[in-house]
Chains A and B, each alone.
Chain A
Amino acid sequence: MRTPTRPGQEPTAIASAAGRPQRMTAVGTTNRGRAGAAAPGQITTRPVRRDPLGSPLAPVVLGSLGCVLALTIWELASQLGAVPSADVPPPSTVLPTLAEELAGERFWVSIGHTLTQWAAGFGLSIVVAVPVGLLLGSNEATWRAFRPLVEFFRTVPGNALIPLAILLWGLSLQSVVFLTVFGCGWSLIVQTMYGVHDVEQEARNTAAAFRLSRLERVRWVILPSALPYIVTGLRIASSTALIIAVSAEILIGVPGIGQDIALTRTGGQVDRMYALILASGVVGIVIDVVFSRFERHFLRWHESQRRWAEK
Chain B
Amino acid sequence: MRFARRYSDLILEIAATAALLAGAWVYLAGDRGYAWVSVPEMLGAFKDAWLFDRFSSDVVPSLSRLALGFGVAVLLGIAVGVALGMSRVIRMLALPVVSFLRAVPAVALLPLSIVLFGIDSAQKVAVIAFVCSWPIVLNTADGVASLDSTMLMTARSYRLSRLELIRYVIAPGIVPRVFTGMRVSISLAVLLLVTSEMVAATSGIGFFVWQAQLTFSIADMWAGIILLGLLGYTLNGAFLLLEKRFCRWNTEMKGNRS
Query: Which of A's residues lie within 8 Å of B, judged by CB?
Result: 1-2, 4-8, 10-11, 14-15, 17-19, 21-22, 25-30, 53, 58-59, 62-67, 69-70, 87-88, 141, 144-146, 148-149, 152-153, 155-164, 166-168, 236, 239, 242-243, 245-247, 250-251, 257-258, 261-262, 264-265, 270, 273-274, 276-277, 280-281, 283-285, 287-288, 304, 307
Instruction: Output the least CB separation between A188 and chain B (Å).
Output: 13
> A interface, by DSSP: helix, strand, loop or mixed?
helix
From B97, B111, B113, give the contact of A67 (CB < 8 A). Answer: B97
Docked Cα-Cα span, A9 to B104, in Å, equals 14
Q: Please tell me if the beta carbons of A62 and B89 are within 8 angstroms of each other in the complex.
A: yes
Instruction: Output the least CB separation between B216 and chain A (Å).
Output: 8
From B35, B113, B153, B231, give the contact of A28 (CB < 8 A). Answer: B153
Interface string of B86-117 (1 = CB under 8 A from A): 11111011111111110111111111111111
Q: Please tell me if the beta carbons of A273 and B258 are within 8 angstroms of each other in the complex.
A: no
Given contacts A246-B107, A258-B107, A273-B115, contact A30 B87 (CB under 8 A): yes
Docked Cα-Cα span, A69 to B112, in Å, equals 23
From A21, A63, A155, A265, give the contact of B92 (CB < 8 A). Answer: A63
Interface centre among B89, B106, B210, B229 (most CB of A within 10 A): B89
Docked Cα-Cα span, A14 to B102, in Å, equals 14
Inter-chain contact count A-B, CB under 8 Å? 255
Q: Is B185 interfacial (CB-CB < 8 Å)?
A: no
Docked Cα-Cα span, A163 to B221, in Å, equals 8
Q: Which of B41-49, B190-198, B242-250 contacts A (4 or more CB under 8 A)?
A: B190-198
Instruction: Output the least CB separation between A263 and chain B (Å).
Output: 9
Q: Please tell me if the beta carbons of A4 and B130 are within 8 angstroms of each other in the complex.
A: yes
Contact partners of A144 in chain B: CB under 8 A: 9, 12-13
Sample of 4 more A-B contacts, CB < 8 Å, known A18-B84, A243-B107 = A1-B125, A148-B17, A243-B105, A284-B103
Q: Please tell me if the beta carbons of A288 and B99 are within 8 angstroms of each other in the complex.
A: yes
Q: Please tell me if the beta carbons of A14 and B228 are within 8 angstroms of each other in the complex.
A: no
From A21, A146, A152, A159, give the contact of B233 (CB < 8 A). Answer: A152
30 A-B pairs within 8 Å (CB atoms) are namely A2-B126, A4-B129, A7-B113, A14-B90, A15-B79, A18-B80, A18-B86, A21-B90, A22-B87, A22-B90, A25-B87, A27-B144, A28-B152, A30-B87, A30-B88, A53-B89, A63-B95, A70-B97, A155-B235, A157-B231, A161-B225, A163-B213, A243-B106, A246-B107, A250-B111, A258-B107, A265-B115, A281-B105, A284-B105, A307-B146
Q: Please tell me if the beta carbons of A66 and B221 are within 8 angstroms of each other in the complex.
A: no
Docked Cα-Cα span, A130 to B71, in Å, equals 35
Q: Please tell me if the beta carbons of A18 and B83 are within 8 angstroms of each other in the complex.
A: yes
Docked Cα-Cα span, A25 to B248, in Å, equals 32
Q: Is B122 interfacial (CB-CB < 8 Å)?
A: yes
Q: Is B72 interfacial (CB-CB < 8 Å)?
A: yes
The 6 closest A-B pairs by CB, nearest first: A18-B83, A163-B213, A28-B152, A284-B103, A66-B93, A281-B104
Contact partners of B232 in chain A: CB under 8 A: 155-157, 160
Given contacts A14-B80, A157-B190, contact A145 B13 (CB under 8 A): yes
